[in-house]
Structure 1
Amino acid sequence: MALEGMLIAAFIVGLLGGVHCLGMCGGVVGTLTFSLTPKHQLSQWRMLPFQLAYNLGRISSYVIIGALIGLLAASLTTLVPFLPFQQALQVFAGLFMIALGLYLGGWWLGVAAVERLGAGLWRRLQPFTQKLTPVRTLPQAWLYGLVWGWLPCGLVYSVLIMAFSAASMTQGALVMLAFGLGTLPNLMLMGVFAFYFTRWARLTWVKRSAGATVMLMGLWQIYLALSLTVV
């Protein structure tokens, strides 16, 4: 898949993943929103800079992880033929996106098992968030978000596979940046209008529409990967 296609796909997956973000990050967003001491508590609109700082920290983590995973893939391509390696990764990423779509739509919950694989690392990192609360400054909010970005998430893992298939440090970082920007509207809305967003995201038709769209994107990615063999 060309870089442009990967960036578009990563952005759309992030945008449609708001339903999943509600379950994974809703508690974190609530904690961040209400972690200010009474002296520093702000109105919904004045919380926006803090919410933006949290989310930029989170996206910064995604970019770092994408760069590292892209660098790893680039080093592996020196050991194996590049095209078959890239095809296999893209097909795997497409299959994972189909599984993720089933998860988002509530049809199959197998992706939850994958998310548990990162629980050990998160347990090591979570104590740092406790040292950063209550949040009083924007740099503190950014650091909190930087740790938050390592929260185990099947949505992130699916896009990381896509970033890995790019086999480039720069492109891996760009793919994760596009994904992070796609998640930004949902999580910003969740932080400022948590009650209304929660009710909307729990609607069955919303979850199933998002899930079906992600599944179609997974099928499209598999098609593009297999079409690379066509001369």
Structure 2
Amino acid sequence: MTTALLVAALLMGFFGSPHCLGMCGGLVTAFGLSMKDVSPAKRRALVATYHFGRLTSYAFLGLIAGLLGTAVLQPLMQGNSAPRILLGLVLVFVGMTMLGAPFLKRLERFGMRFWQYLSPIRQKVFPLNTFPRALSAGLLWGFLPCGLVYGALLIAVVAHNPLSGAALMFVFGLGTVPMLVATHETVGWLRDKIGRFRLRQLNGAVMVLSGLAVVFVPIAMSSMHGNHGSGHSMGMAHGDTMMMTDTDNTTHHDMSQMDHSMHNMNNDSETME
């Protein structure tokens, strides 16, 4: 896995975090209300703990996605360009999702059923006044249905190995942290800047272009190299033809000289007679 892929995951999490705030805002508010009786220092520590739990769940999901990609896809992609092409297509797909395409809405609805199934367990972690409860809440939070998370998991599937998938998802989660831990004023400022400059859409467009480049640039380079090789071969053939022509001319010249010598010898014989 390249550093560029990790950076893409980090930016995907950061610029997509306004969407995360919309999905998770109610949950964050509930967490905050459940910690109203703890000291500010402990509150900050509890917030860090449940975010660590959330990122741990993301890393676990990335590990599973990487295992799936290794077990199912890798045997089909040995010795060919399929891994590169698949990665490029996934980047295009995720980029279009960030641009607003509703590709993952149905998957979100399916995930909501699982989230509702966890409801009895979620109720047991409140109030978040101890570190085990905060960690448990974060671990459960990581399974909240989210199209952005599912998009990152698709990249983790083609990340070549399980550890890469886990690292990619953990870094993706890091990108979402600033928006989710910011104060109300800071949240408003971040959302305004990301929305005003359309940074999410810009990041989506960059991902689409990156995916297209991953797919088509090597093909174009290979085609150019092939044409160069063909031209080189044609040049060699033309050189061989020139050499053969020069050889034929030399041979013809030598034969002409031999004929001229024979003619002179005949003339000398006639003179002697």
Same fold (TM over 0.5): yes
Q: How much does 1:113 deviate?
A: 3.6
Q: How much does 1:26 deviate?
A: 0.8
Which of 62, 67, 71 is residue 66 of structure 1 equivalent to?
62
Which of 146, 160, 164 is residue 171 of structure 1 equivalent to?
164
Q: C-alpha offsets along residues 79-109 of structure 1, whole Å, 9 cap, x if unaligned?
A: 3124444234323322332232223xxxx55
The aligned runs of 1:2-41 (5 Å cut-off) are 2-36=1-35, 40-41=37-38
Q: How much does 1:132 deviate?
A: 0.6
Q: How much does 1:55 deviate?
A: 0.7
Q: How much does 1:146 deviate?
A: 0.3
Q: Structure 1 residue 144 and structure 2 residue 137: aligned?
A: yes
Give the conservation status (yes or no) of the 8 Å contact 2:88–2:210. no
Q: With structure 1 as the length reference, what TM-score do the two structures score?
A: 0.84
Q: Which residue does the alignment assign to 1:218?
A: 208
Secondary structure at the counterpart of residue 71 of structure 2: helix
Give the conservation status (yes or no) of the 8 Å contact 1:62–1:173. yes
Which of 39, 43, 48 is residue 47 of structure 1 equivalent to?
43
Which of 114, 117, 125 is residue 110 of structure 2 equivalent to?
117
The higher-RCO structure (CA 8 Å, 6+ apart) is 1
Quick one: distance in 2 between partners of 1:225 and 1:123? 39
Q: Structure 1 residue 98 and structure 2 residue 65: aligned?
A: no
Where do 5+ consecutive residues of structure 2 fail to align? 223-273
Quick one: distance in 1 between partners of 2:194 and 2:171? 27
Give the conservation status (yes or no) of the 8 Å contact 1:10–1:175. yes
Q: C-alpha offsets along residues 157-177 of structure 1, whole Å, 9 cap, x if unaligned?
A: 111111111130111111111
Name the CA shift for 1:114/1:78 in 2 (closer, same or farther; >3 Å): closer
Instruction: State which drifts further: 220-229 or 132-141.
Output: 220-229
Which of structures 1 and 2 has the bigger CA Rg? 2
Give the conservation status (yes or no) of the 8 Å contact 1:24–1:153. yes
Quick one: distance in 2 between partners of 1:10 and 1:208? 18
Name the CA shift for 1:139/1:6 in 2 (closer, same or farther; >3 Å): same
Give the conservation status (yes or no) of the 8 Å contact 1:58–1:148. yes
Quick one: distance in 2 between partners of 1:173 and 1:226? 28
CA RMSD of aligned residues (A): 2.4
